[in-house]
A and B are shown apart, each in its own frame.
Chain A
Amino acid sequence: MAMDETKTRYTIPVGPIHPALKEPVRLDLTIDGEEVVDVDVVVGQVHRGIEWLGMNRNNPIQNIYIAERVCGICNICHPFAYVMAVEQAAGITPPERAEYIRVIIAEMERIHSHLLWAGVAAHEIGFDSVFYLVWRVREEIMDLVEYVTGNRVTKAMFQIGGVRRDITEEQFPRIRQSMDYYKSIFDQLKTVFLDDRTIRMRTRNVGILKTEDALKLLAVGPTGRASGVPKDVRQDQPYGGYADLDIKAITPDMLTGIVVGDVYDRIIVRLLEVKQAVEIIERCLDEMPSGPLLFEQKTAKLLNMLTKAEGEGIGRAEAPRGEVVHYVRLEAGRETLSTWKIRAPTYVNLISIPVILKGGQIADVPIAFASIDPCMSCTNRAIVVKSKTTNASPLSYRELHELSVEKTKRLVA
């Protein structure tokens, strides 16, 4: 390996603005010809200070609004986890009907997110025809979401203690119609993605994340499941309406019999999850209990109750990208949250990126990076700008650890 020292390696920055990325992140690739030798991930390009707003300006109900806007596609799972955290902290139990409605819209979001991802992945490998085709299929779920919630992207369904809008019996036929459409088109989608030779050429044995690495690097969501780690929050710690349904984590060996952990396997996992989501929605429609939608109808009363509440809560939800965790702490007499910490799934999956990209070609970078379904808007990191010298330096692991230990001491004291 010593002979490689004579070859010049250079660094190509991918991002923060790059056609391969749908959201700003910087990957500094060290390449040797066409092979990627090292990757440095620089995040924090979309930091918007959401947690600060939640802790200093907004009351818990207003926080739902900004929790939804952590990310456009993760528009349900973030408020889902947040609302569960607050409910746990305040000791509120939402009614059953609300739980089922939450599951339905969460699964609708999952279908939409996976179809969007499939189109983007096709575009990354230059297969625009499939991109247009899949996004046309995606229009159906967008129309359904608009029919049920009133908007295509930001759905505003969550409220602490329940949901804001009902899914009535009159709306069921339209939902079933969409689900039938997806069931009918699923085989065609499977053929297009899994049987196409050029797609297989670009995705098989590309961007491999082995099972041991996935376990060590704590990969979550379809990224982890495609590497054979059968972790799914809906299966391991069922929340809300999922407790009534038996969700099984989907791994690629259900379809092909083997687990390789490459981009192709991730396509398999996401496609099968679309099918699973359709089945879940239909089951929820069949078994929908009747009852109220909210724990407390009057918002002012709810806010009063939350201001007086004291406690901490953790909400874990299975976002389309993996496990999203919201930690919330309420203090009696304080209108804003005392503490709010969001841990988005992409934050964890990004750690796997150097392992996934190393040894591959530059041509593999966009599709391999896109295969973890990165949602940068959900991610952030702290950069300390030393104002005297205007020197921006990222905090090292040790510094971050020391800072967080100090903060815990302050919180506990």
Chain B
Amino acid sequence: MIAVLRAEWLKLRTTTIPWLLTGIAVIITGLLILLYFVNKGGGGPRDRTNFGPPTPDIPHTTQQLRDLLGTGVGIYVFALLLGVLIITVEFRHKTVTTSFLTTPHRTRFVAGKVLIAALTGAVLGVIVLLATLLGGGITLAAKGGSFSSLANQLGAVAPGLILVYALMAVLGVGVGSLLTNQVAAIVVVLGWFLILENIIGGIWHGTVKWLPSGAASAAANVSTGRQNIGLFNWWQGSLLILVYGLVFAALGSFLLARRDIT
């Protein structure tokens, strides 16, 4: 299994995709932090429903600091895309022929992708988290707060965020194993997470906790700005994403096992 992971890591780092995704994720993180402070720290860009008492210029409550540090949870779609690309790149460039010759058991092939996705997804989570800590912390310090107040929240935010990134990458592999056409898979994933999920959650509030984004918020233990609709706790949310990912991956493996590679 170590050898499979080494092979998959080598394949992954010799493509441009993970580097590109990581770069974009860091840039978007920076923009979100900027937006947060432009918003005067009123709970962050995610909290548009906060019409309560006037907020101070800089985040200082525990929840505000955690929400700032957890900015990356809102863009877990990058982890998802990473997972999608990890598997669909094989079909796009037809390297899947060589992969299946080397590993004829296609379920084992998907399992290798799931594992490398979980690992690299977690790494992406760490990078986004560090970017948030640096960008947010330095801005905070410059505005009269303290870097350490943000850093102190790492213990509360990091495990959930890293877990969400790992699980979302697994879910991405699941989707990609079903929809092996790279462009189609990306369109479906972006369409679902940027549009459809918001519509569904907006119409039927009760579904939110079952949706991947609701589960991600629960898993990372950040506020969504829609506290009243009720989310699972962190492990229930994590389990839900994992189940989604594995169900898709199992379905994908089942179909792949019967597919002719011509």
A and B associate in one complex: no
